[in-house]
């Protein structure tokens, strides 16, 4: 495959671990280099039958229902609008190895948290397990995921091992080059969609998600972050005025309308918001609904009988990836609306990464199936929380944890409160943490983000649902609440929670829907877009402000994306390569800092006095290719723009 190449990353060959690294990217295609560690087999049992599990270090395992769980390496890419992705593979190192002792275990459908974990659904695909068909059919699979915020997305899956059940042999590919050519497509529309939908928070998330980010985004200036509030007139006439003013001070472009302007039905509200996303000059990046379902109805889910807010912010008729970040103040009075708004303003104004109680977290697990709920919590603590210097209280009923331990922990102040277990519409069921326990909280001014990985706790159609109790009760509760409307599932909740904390603390994506949506996408990845992917996108909803800048313990880097948007004060060639010209505008002492995508300070290329315009050379040759943020501090103000370094 031949096309003009934009080199993004160099390849480091590490044979001891598996990797799928991007080598080249252009508007015509992408080239990946794959390495895979040698597989090993272990034996397991499902429903009394013997199977073998395959383990390849650094690789996931396919979880497609009824199909063998073979190793897989994945990457997300952006593709031109309407394009077909044509894969071509160059196998550099391929061998035949003996198959496992038993058939490779199949993908299962996990059990609801209302059921025992071993109540999973299991089937064996007859073509593979009975007729001996080689699996998978090919080494590369492209899953077209639809669009998100104007970007056409595809999930690339590469299978280093194929299993022939009839001979019980495997062909194993330890190294390969995978070339993906974009055939057809509309580049003009692609660039126009990027320009129209380009928004700072989504770009930061997309740059952490897609392997070839920057291919279609070159030359787009960072705009303000548009924010749309839609609410019942009783709540938006005056109760949110301070909230709107505060958000405007942070750099958001605010629009607030009531249902007299939008219409009051689901169809009316959906049409208004979708029109804003598709046709406004500054399509909203954030959407906040204000009112519980008696005042502002929930949209209709397709995978369960209940409400969802998802489809208020999806544009494509079949897409379920959101095109704006959405949350809801589920309130029944102006006082409650102002209370939720004031919590956000006070938090963003007063709480930073050095506020003492931000260092503390609380983790509640179930007694039933505690091996997975405790295991998920322990993984998040070990991988993401402990390395950041957080402290944690584990309330594990299997080890004697009680509701009183939660009360003490929350009253002392925690920044994140995470639950995994059984739930109901009005309380956490497994450990019986009910309203009587909640009423003992006295954590005014220390409101945490609440993550509830449980059945039904996010069912905001219920009168005073658990998610509403936590967010609109005076003097106690949480800053926001993340919960499921329908029943949730053991395995999917585990997958989702791990990804949420990965994006929050490892990737430093610190606004709620910035790290909560990737949890849903992790479920999509795990099940290759099948299984309960759509169910989870619909089921989990946020009660709270989707944009609130969550403090990360110890962080002093930029944590409010929109505060610093002022491209007129910093002009830089984008993408940047080698010696890059940067134009600064200002007056008086100034400092230009460079941060990477995680918020880490990389360098300070300028420190001195500005007298109007100054053109300087910024040498990027020693930087790792990727997305960077340039921050200019001058005269008590700060201005930020972002740039893709390609080198």
Question: Tens digits of per-residue pLDDT, 588-602?
Answer: 899 999 987 667 789
CB 519 within 8 A of CB 499: yes
19-26 and 6-7 strand pairing: antiparallel
d(Cα 599, Cα 246) in Å, to the nearest integer?
23
Asked whether the predicted pLDDT for residue 566 surpasses 70, the reply is: no
State the residue for tokens 């998920």.
376
d(Cα 217, Cα 195) in Å, to the nearest integer?
8
Q: Check residue 96 and give its pLDDT.
A: 93
Q: Check residue 563 and give its pLDDT.
A: 34
Give the pLDDT confidence of 241-268 residue by residue, as tens digits.
999 999 998 889 999 999 999 999 999 9
At 357, phi and psi to the nearest 5? -75, -15
C-alpha separations of 200 from 227, 275, 521 in Å: 12, 20, 20
Asked whether the predicted pLDDT for residue 5 surpasses 90, the reply is: no
For residue 519, the surrounding DSSP H or E stretch is: helix 512-526
CB 310 within 8 A of CB 324: no
Kindly state the tokens that stand for 552.
Answer: 């990360």
- Grade residue 508 by pLDDT with cuts at 50, 70 and 90: confident
d(Cα 94, Cα 83) in Å, to the nearest integer?
31
Q: Quickly count: other Cβ atoms within 10 Å of residue 227's Cβ.
A: 27
All structural domains of the chain, each given as residue ranges with its CATH number in brackets, are 6-186 (2.60.40.3800), 353-543 (3.40.50.1460), 566-645 (2.60.40.1930)
Give the pLDDT confidence of 32-73 residue by residue, as tens digits.
999 999 999 999 999 999 999 999 999 999 999 999 999 999
Give me the residues paired with residue 591 across strands.
607, 633
d(Cα 188, Cα 52) in Å, to the nearest integer?
49
* CA triple 210-216-220, angle to 5 deg: 110
CB 71 within 8 A of CB 159: yes
CB 100 within 8 A of CB 118: no
Nearest to 106 by CA among 166, 47, 158, 156: 47
Question: CA torsion, points 592, 641, 32, 194, in degrees to nearest 10?
Answer: -170
Give the pLDDT confidence of 273-308 residue by residue, as tens digits.
999 999 999 999 999 999 999 999 999 999 999 999
449-453 and 416-420 strand pairing: parallel
Orientation of helix 512-526 relative to helix 200-209, angle to 10°: 30
d(Cα 140, Cα 161) in Å, to the nearest integer?
11
Asked whether the predicted pLDDT for residue 210 surpasses 90, the reply is: yes
Asked whether the predicted pLDDT for residue 449 surpasses 80, the reply is: yes
Give the pLDDT confidence of 413-445 residue by residue, as tens digits.
999 999 999 999 999 998 899 999 999 999 999
d(Cα 510, Cα 515) in Å, to the nearest integer?
7
> Which range among 2-16, 544-558, 619-633 shows the weakest confidence by mean pLDDT?
2-16
CB 307 within 8 A of CB 300: yes
The 3-class SS string of 313-379 reads CCCCCCCCCCCCEEEEECCCCHHHHHHHHHHHHHHHHHCCCCCHHHHEEEEEECCCCHHHHHHHHHH
Establish how many alpha carbons lie within 13 A of residue 638's alpha carbon, considering only the half-sphere containing its beta carbon.
17
> Which range among 7-11, 535-539, 639-643 shows the weakest confidence by mean pLDDT?
7-11
d(Cα 369, Cα 546) in Å, to the nearest integer?
31
For residue 185, the surrounding DSSP H or E stretch is: strand 169-186
Nearest to 344 by CA among 262, 419, 239, 442: 239
Nearest to 47 by CA among 96, 100, 119, 129: 119
Nearest to 416 by CA among 468, 479, 355: 479
d(Cα 562, Cα 163) in Å, to the nearest integer?
50
Orientation of helix 370-380 relative to helix 490-501, angle to 10°: 10
- Grade residue 629 by pLDDT with cuts at 50, 70 and 90: confident
Q: Check residue 576 and give its pLDDT.
A: 78
DSSP 144: E
Cβ contacts of 567 within 8 Å, gap of 6 or more = 221, 222, 639, 641
> Which range among 21-25, 432-436, 464-468 shows the weakest confidence by mean pLDDT?
21-25
Nearest to 615 by CA among 605, 629, 623, 625: 605
State the residue for tokens 């001014």.
445
Asked whether the predicted pLDDT for residue 227 surpasses 80, the reply is: yes
Give the pLDDT confidence of 167-208 residue by residue, as tens digits.
999 999 999 999 999 999 999 999 999 999 998 889 888 988
d(Cα 114, Cα 104) in Å, to the nearest integer?
29
d(Cα 572, Cα 221) in Å, to the nearest integer?
10
CB 467 within 8 A of CB 543: yes
Between these two residues, 27 and 583, which has the higher pLDDT value?
27
Orientation of helix 490-501 relative to helix 512-526, angle to 10°: 130
CB 67 within 8 A of CB 172: no
């Amino acid at each position: 495959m031949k096309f003009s190449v934009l080199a993004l990353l160099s390849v480091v060959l590490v044979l001891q671990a598996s990797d799928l690294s991007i080598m080249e990217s252009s508007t015509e295609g992408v080239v990946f280099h794959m390495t895979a560690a040698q597989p090993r087999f272990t034996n397991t049992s499902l429903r009394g039958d013997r199977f073998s599990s395959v383990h390849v270090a650094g690789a996931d395992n396919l979880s497609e229902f009824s199909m063998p769980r073979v190793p897989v390496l994945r990457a997300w890419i952006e593709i031109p609008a309407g394009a077909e992705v044509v894969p071509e593979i160059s196998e550099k190192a391929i061998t035949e190895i003996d198959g496992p002792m038993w058939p490779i275990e199949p993908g299962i459908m996990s059990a609801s948290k209302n059921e025992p974990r071993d109540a999973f659904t299991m089937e064996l695909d007859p073509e593979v397990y009975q007729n001996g068909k080689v699996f998978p059919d090919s080494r590369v699979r492209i899953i077209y995921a639809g669009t998100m915020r104007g970007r056409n997305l595809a999930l690339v899956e590469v299978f280093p091992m194929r299993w022939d059940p009839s001979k019980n042999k495997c062909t194993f590919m330890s190294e390969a080059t995978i070339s993906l050519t974009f055939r057809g497509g509309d580049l003009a529309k692609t660039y126009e969609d990027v320009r129209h939908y380009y928004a700072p928070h989504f770009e930061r998330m997309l740059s952490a998600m897609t392997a070839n980010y920057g291919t279609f985004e070159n030359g787009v200036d960072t705009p303000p972050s548009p924010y749309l509030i839609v609410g019942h007139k009783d709540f938006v006439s005056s109760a949110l005025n301070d909230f709107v003013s505060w958000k405007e001070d942070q750099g958001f472009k605010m629009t607030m309308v009531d249902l007299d302007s939008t219409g009051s039905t689901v169809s009316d509200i959906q049409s208004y918001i979708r029109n804003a996303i598709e046709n406004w000059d500054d399509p909203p990046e954030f959407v906040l609904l204000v009112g519980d379902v008696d005042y502002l109805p929930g949209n209709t889910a397709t995978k369960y009988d209940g409400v969802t807010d998802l489809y208020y912010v999806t544009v494509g008729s079949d897409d379920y990836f959101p095109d704006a970040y959405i949350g809801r103040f589920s309130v029944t009075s102006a006082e409650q609306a102002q209370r939720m708004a004031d919590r956000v303003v006070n938090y963003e104004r007063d709480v930073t990464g050095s506020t003492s109680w931000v260092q503390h977290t609380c983790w509640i697990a179930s007694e039933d199936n505690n091996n997975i709920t405790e295991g998920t919590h322990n993984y998040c603590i070990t991988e993401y929380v402990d390395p950041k210097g957080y402290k944690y209280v584990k309330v594990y009923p299997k080890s004697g944890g009680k509701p009183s331990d939660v009360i003490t922990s929350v009253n002392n102040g925690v920044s994140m409160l995470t639950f995994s277990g059984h739930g109901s519409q009005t309380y956490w069921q497994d450990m019986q943490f009910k309203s009587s326990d909640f009423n003992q909280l006295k954590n005014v001014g220390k409101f945490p983000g609440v993550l509830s990985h449980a059945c039904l706790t996010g069912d905001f159609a219920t009168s005073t649902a658990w998610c509403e109790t936590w967010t609109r009760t005076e003097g106690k509760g949480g800053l926001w609440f993340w919960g499921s409307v329908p029943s949730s599932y053991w395995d999917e909740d585990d997958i989702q929670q791990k990804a949420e904390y990965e994006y929050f603390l490892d990737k430093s994506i610190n606004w709620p829907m910035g790290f909560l949506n990737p949890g849903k996408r992790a479920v999509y990845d795990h099940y290759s877009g099948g299984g309960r992917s759509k169910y989870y996108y619909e089921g989990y909803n946020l009660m709270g402000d989707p944009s609130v800048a969550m403090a990360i313990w110890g962080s002093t880097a930029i944590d409010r994306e929109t505060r610093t948007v002022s491209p007129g004060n910093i002009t830089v060639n984008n993408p940047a390569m080698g010696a890059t010209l940067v134009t600064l505008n200002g007056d008086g002492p100034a400092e230009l800092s460079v941060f990477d995508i995680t918020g880490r300070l990389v360098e300070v290329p300028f420190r001195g006095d500005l007298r109007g315009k100054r053109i300087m050379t910024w040498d990027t040759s020693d930087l790792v290719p990727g997305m960077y943020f340039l921050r200019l501090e001058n005269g008590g103000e700060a201005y930020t723009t972002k740039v893709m370094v390609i080198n």
